[in-house]
Amino acid sequence: MLRHDRIITLADLNGYPGSEYLDLTIYLPWSKDPRRRMWLMTPESSPSIRIDDVAVRPGRAAGGRPRWIDYGIARLPLPTEPPWGMGEFYQLRLRGMEVSECAGSYLVITPRLDLALEGCSIEDAERKLWGLARRDAGATTLRPSRLTAGSAAAFTVRYTAGLKGLPSGALVRFTVPAAFAWPQVEDPRASGFVSIAEANCPVSIARIEKSVESHEKTDIICRLEGRLAVDEGFALQYRTGTYIFSSEWHETDRWCWYSLLPPLAAAVALSEDAPFVSLAEENGHVFQVVPGPSERVHLFLPGRRFSSEELWLRGTFTDRYRNTPPGGAIDAGFELWLEGGAERVALGTPAGRFVARHRFEVPLPVLAPGVYRAVACREGTGEVVARSNPLEIVAEGAVQDRVYWGEIHGHTEMSDGSGDYGELYRHAREEGCLEFASATDHAEYLSDNEWQWMQDVTNGWNEPGRFITLVGYETAGEQRDRCVYTSRPRMDLFRGNYPPTANLEVVWAHFHGDEQVVGGVHALLAHGTNLDHWAQHDPAVERFVEIYSMWGANDFRESPLVPDWITDWVSEGKIKSGATANELLMAGAKLGFTGGGDCHEGHCGFASEAPDGQGITPHTFAAIILYRCGMTAAAMPRLDRESLMQAIRNRRTVATTGARILLHFTAAGLPMGAIGTAGEVECRGTVHAVEPIRRVEIVRDGRVAWCEEMDDLDAEIRWRDPAPPEGEHYYYLHVVQTDGQMAWSSPIWISVLKGDHR
């Protein structure tokens, strides 16, 4: 059952210099009755409280210690029908309270309108609400509690009853991530098998079910068939594969759907009709996934540069899944070569070039115009252990923009992901060797004071000429998800699902006409974003579509990078059929293409991946995010925020599935993103791939108009549309490598003049 009572620890409140209040984002479940009684335990002050737009003021202070203040009954803006995720997020703001008072202070929000808490400790308050205090709910230990990324596990969790024991009929709930194997009791040899062991009383597995509190959790609910005394307990065994990325899970309270609970985190209910009570923090267990040993080396070159620039080859060692190895040997016994131009240039070995234990940088010689790739060859055998992306050198004065690589869609622990917010930028710049990045945490989960601090962090990492960051966030509402960015150091926050801003029209109206802001839509098919949701589209603000992300591709429904579960869910009625990028373009939208991640592990671009598991293995915490992180190439004159903003707004971007494939594409002499007129349409392009090219296609008006099979790293394309119809049409280039990685140029729109084409 849903736990409607909330006890909020005010030590978690956020402050910011100059802010008039302390704040926190809280999560409240839906309820047919939106009335809530509120009590505040605090030693001195009597602050005013606001939850979204509902203001409550302190009433009388109850006698005795600890000091409780009765805030009476308020009607909160709770959904009266189950929303997505079973609850919604709200902004809690306290005025008139000092940060020093927050430690040891608690806010109770409960549907029990007659609740009285005079003289209660916080443990007594928990007992009044739930029949059990968290400190009395027992303890758990987990074996193993530390695993290497990608490894399978045979978990054993030991639950021990607390000081009051547990009665017969009590329930113990163990949480399993939905990305793990579905728990089952039928086949002991199969993954997901669950069994009871070492019990001090009879224990049964009552049921296994999708959590009513989280779409990303599965619950194994055990029933005690006898009483457990203090320090008595039982063990639960469970076999599964685990995550491919490194992180730590340490929370015990499932306060919202994305709480970072470790596998088999426990909660206790005294009976079937009692709420589940989470263990105290000190009584739960912690789970870590750590990187494996160094297995792969990745080589990175810039995209397109001029011949006079000082350039570097950068190398990064990772484990099998692209996680930074924590320690151990680094096998750098190879030679580096630069291939391209008239001869093969020796770059030496990584020895003496390491800037960190697992990263090295090698300066490049002055290069003549041409295309270059670096290769690492094993000393003695010549075995190729790594190849870089292509680097294009153009002559000084050439009328071409530089090409920079980056990724602008990553999430951290500031919303529904994991990983430190600032670490996202360090990882993007140092590990992934990106040149621009943006953290885009979900706006509805952020408090005002958190948002001020996050913008400071993003601005602190911005370094023109070396590494660019954009202030950005993801907003969600009635028209699904959009990412919004600015080239300024500050941007107003629109939470999306907050009712006054739930309609996208409100957000776009605020930013309309501001050329230092840009927005775009992502995961069209996975999120069911259809043409009905496109009615509020504002072409002055919304200028791109994320054609690929870790959710898969969005160009065509028949793409091999559209996961099967989308088709299944549409047929089962779980989601509505979403539009494709081509359907948006055919409806008249003028959108460039970006490649992104939506990675939720605090990484951009260079996120964890399963090399052989694309479309099969969860690449993040969510069971249905199955692909590697995408990337965006931006064509712009220099590396700074203003240039990047204009590259995105003017559709001067290339999207890829992660491989740094260089594309150059024109139609009727116009560059990517342009809108123009012509009597005839000749498309020209060049492709410099990372692996051999399997196929190159030109898409016109949502259909493949020209296609050529090939098996080369580089290609020159020239195709004249034999009979372009009258009116406006769009063209873009699509490339598929032999390893399945893809790239898309942004479209070009051409109006064919009546009677003028031949």
Q: Are residues 532 and 590 in the same domain?
A: yes
What is the number of domains present in the chain? 5
Q: Are residues 226 and 332 in the same domain?
A: no
- Predicted pLDDT of residue 397: 86
Residue among 132, 124, 111 at smallest CA distance from 4: 111
- Predicted pLDDT of residue 725: 76
Say if residue 545's pLDDT is above 60: yes
- The pLDDT confidence band at residue 698, using thresholds 50, 70 and 90, is very high
- Predicted pLDDT of residue 187: 97
On average, the pLDDT of the chain sits at 95
Rounded average pLDDT over 463-473: 98
Beta carbons of 104 and 43 less than 8 angstroms apart: yes
Rounded average pLDDT over 427-454: 97
Look-up of token digits 């992901």? 417
Choosing from 640, 658, 676, the residue where a domain stops is 658
Report pLDDT digits (tens) over 657-668: 999 999 999 999
Hey, which bits of 47-104 come out as E strands?
A: 48-51, 54-56, 68-75, 87-95
Look-up of token digits 């948006």? 584
Choosing from 290, 319, 336, the residue where a domain stops is 290
Q: Are residues 562 and 465 in the same domain?
A: yes
- The pLDDT confidence band at residue 501, using thresholds 50, 70 and 90, is confident
- Predicted pLDDT of residue 757: 42
Q: Are residues 595 and 648 in the same domain?
A: yes
Q: Which domain holds residue 312?
A: 296-400
Write the CATH number for 187: 2.60.40
Q: Are residues 318 and 378 in the same domain?
A: yes
Choosing from 236, 270, 290, the residue where a domain stops is 290
Q: Are residues 282 and 412 in the same domain?
A: no
Q: Are residues 356 and 416 in the same domain?
A: no
- The pLDDT confidence band at residue 608, using thresholds 50, 70 and 90, is very high
The answer to whether residue 1 is domain-embedded is: no
**Peptide bond before residue 611 is cis, with ω within 30 degrees of 0:** no
SS (HEC) of 568-603:
HHHHHCCCCCCCCHHHHHHCCCCCEEEECCCECCCC
Residue among 504, 415, 472 at smallest CA distance from 85: 415
Q: Are residues 24 and 111 in the same domain?
A: yes
Say if residue 82's pLDDT is above 80: no
Count the Cβ atoms, other than its own, within 10 Å of residue 509.
Answer: 13
String of DSSP letters for 642-668:
HHHHHHHHTT-EEEESSS--EEEEEET
- Predicted pLDDT of residue 182: 97
Say if residue 365's pLDDT is above 90: yes
Q: Are residues 426 and 396 in the same domain?
A: no
Report pLDDT digits (tens) over 269-318: 999 999 999 999 999 999 999 999 999 999 999 999 999 999 999 999 99
pTM, rounded to two decimals: 0.96
Q: Are residues 17 and 48 in the same domain?
A: yes
Of 78-82, 131-135, 550-554, the one with minimum mean pLDDT is: 78-82
The answer to whether residue 640 is domain-embedded is: yes
- Predicted pLDDT of residue 656: 98
- Predicted pLDDT of residue 103: 94
The answer to whether residue 723 is domain-embedded is: yes
The answer to whether residue 416 is domain-embedded is: yes
Residues, the chain: 758
Report pLDDT digits (tens) over 549-606: 999 999 999 999 999 999 999 999 988 899 999 999 999 999 999 999 999 999 999 9
Tokens found for residue 614 = 């694309």
Rounded CA-CA distance 548/732 in Å is 15
- Predicted pLDDT of residue 293: 95
- The pLDDT confidence band at residue 343, using thresholds 50, 70 and 90, is confident
Q: Are residues 351 and 498 in the same domain?
A: no
Q: Indicate the DSSP class of residue 532.
A: G
Q: Are residues 547 and 638 in the same domain?
A: yes
String of DSSP letters for 152-180:
EEEEEEEEE--TT-B-TT-EEEEEEETTS
Residue 373 parent element (H or E): strand 370-378
Residue among 10, 26, 162 at smallest CA distance from 92: 26
Say if residue 63's pLDDT is above 80: no
Which amino acid is it at 741?
Q
Tokens found for residue 120 = 């209660």
Output the CA angle 365-371-375, nearest 5 degrees: 70
Count the Cβ atoms, other than its own, within 10 Å of residue 31.
Answer: 18
Say if residue 758's pLDDT is above 60: no
Residue among 431, 443, 428, 436 at smallest CA distance from 402: 436
Output the CA angle 348-353-354, nearest 5 degrees: 135
- The pLDDT confidence band at residue 726, using thresholds 50, 70 and 90, is confident
The answer to whether residue 391 is domain-embedded is: yes
Count the Cβ atoms, other than its own, within 10 Å of residue 49.
Answer: 24
- The pLDDT confidence band at residue 85, using thresholds 50, 70 and 90, is low
Write the CATH number for 502: 3.20.20.140
